[in-house]
Amino acid sequence: MKKDFMFTSESVTEGHPDKLCDQISDAIVDRFLQQDPYARIVTECAVATGIVFIAARFEPNANVDFPNVARQVIDQVGYAQKDFNAKTCSILTSLTELKREQDRFFDEKNLSDEEIERIPVKNQATVFGFACNQTPVLMPLPIWLAHKLARQLSEVRKQNLLSYLTPDGKTQVGVEYRNRRPYRIHSITVIASQTKKSKPDFEQLQDDIRETVIKPIFEDEDIRPDAQTRIFVNPDGPFVKGGPAVHSGLTGRKNAIDTYGEYAQHSGSALSGKDPVRIDRVGAYAARYAAKNVVAAGLADECEVQLSYSIGLARPVSIQVETFGTGKVSEEEIAILLEKHFDFRLAGIIKQFDLRYLPSLHKGTFYRKLAAYGHVGRTDIELPWEKTDKATVF
């Protein structure tokens, strides 16, 4: 295993077409669960120039206006361009009402342990959770910094500090590692979309991004850009308009951005657009919870937890742990401790994290907030799977 290497992670703003689709999908999930915490909904979205396509399968126990939800998200994200905006874009839907499955209608809050054991998963999945002590929130440094830059890029647009910016943007941070620890910032890339090609000129754009986006982000960081750090702002030239008018988007296409910036493994399944009964979504949260508590407990500097589920069974058929040579105890011992102290069963996860009721508790918009800037490692939302309350059980 390499100890000295360079690693990059990227993030995107909420105006990126893929992230726009994730937000529309999760806003629909929020709306269903706000009306009925036991609602079943799986939805995907695609966007292109002037067009939004929504496909959904749901049980008909909630009344949701899909086009209206999509238009609200598009407007709130900030798209008001002639080529793509909330008022004039065409919204197509393919909606399928499912028959109510009685075995999926369970109230986990009132179930005994034996009853939780009898509730199996209905889709197969292998999910991953990861944590490391590179940042205060126990996330890898490259994705942590990339998210911070993307948020700042969006914020300067919203505050009208750079009035020429449009909602679409991308960031990337490269970090050099020595002995598997962050050593220096190798490179920073910011792709900012602008309303017009000539305004501002390229030199002014670069100066503006350096001063208002990059500089503030590193003021409180222990590792900052140095004289050798390579900084790129729109290296391919002006990026005009951006968004669906320039490139299409699809739900679930940015899984690495949703998780660990590819520093660790992640599932191929989309996290957004699914209600809490989908183990490929909530299992990833449970795996992160386990990995984070392992690191918080000091059992390892890095920990990856893998959970494998098979249809028809309540518990994962496999719990594997990888500590990348940083473990203070064996990986086998950690896996045994996880199985003893953590509930990885579907109904158990839903119960512990209160996943059905989070949209109502957060005024109707919880899952949509996860759809941009990561489902893990957040400090702006109180996420139950980010707690380290089980670090003392080891």
Domain that holds residue 329: 111-134+252-393
**151 and 219 share one domain:** yes
| pTM for the predicted model, two decimal places | 0.96
Tell me, yes or no, whether 369 and 221 share the same domain. Answer: no
Mean pLDDT, range 170-180, rounded to an integer: 97
Provide the mean pLDDT of the chain. Answer: 95
pLDDT value, residue 341: 97
* DSSP E strands, the chain: 5-12, 41-48, 51-58, 90-97, 125-132, 165-178, 181-194, 230-233, 239-240, 249-250, 302-309, 318-322
Shared domain for 72 and 149, answered yes or no, is no
Instruction: Please write the tens of the pLDDT for every residue from 291-313.
Output: 999 999 999 999 999 999 999 99
Determine the pLDDT at residue 193: 95
Query: 160 and 92 in one domain?
Result: no
Mean pLDDT lowest for which of 236-245, 334-343, 381-390?
Answer: 236-245
pLDDT by residue (tens digit) across 344-361? 999 999 999 999 999 999
The pLDDT, as a whole number, for residue 104 is 60
pLDDT on residue 47: 97
pLDDT bucket at 106, cuts 50 / 70 / 90: confident
Q: Are residues 120 and 188 in the same domain?
A: no
Statement to judge: residues 292 and 357 lie in one domain: yes
pLDDT score for 2: 82
Tokens of 233: 């702002």
Same domain flag for 266 and 354: yes
Residue where a domain terminates, one of 191, 214, 243: 243
**Same domain for 168 and 123?**
no
Following CA atoms 241, 243, 245, 249 in sequence, which dihedral angle do they give, to the nearest 10 degrees?
160
The percent of residues in the chain predicted with pLDDT above 70, rounded, is 99
Residues 50 and 92 in one domain: yes
Question: What confidence score (pLDDT) does residue 1 get?
Answer: 61
Judgement on whether residues 188 and 69 belong to the same structural domain of the protein: no
CATH number reported for the structural domain that contains residue 27 in this entry: 3.30.300.10
* pLDDT over 90 (residue 105): no
Alpha helix positions (H), the chain: 17-35, 66-77, 113-117, 141-158, 202-209, 215-218, 255-258, 279-296, 331-341, 346-353, 358-361, 367-370
Q: What is the mean pLDDT of residues 370-381?
A: 97
Domain total in the chain: 3
The percentage of residues in the chain with a pLDDT greater than 90, rounded to a whole number, is 91
For residue 103, pLDDT over 70 is answered with: no
* Same-domain status, 185 and 262: no
Boundary-marking domain end, from 86, 103, 120 = 103
Do 263 and 298 have their domain in common?
yes
Name the residue with tokens 């799986």.
42
Q: Is the pLDDT of residue 101 over 80?
A: no
The last residue of a domain, from among 189, 215, 243 = 243
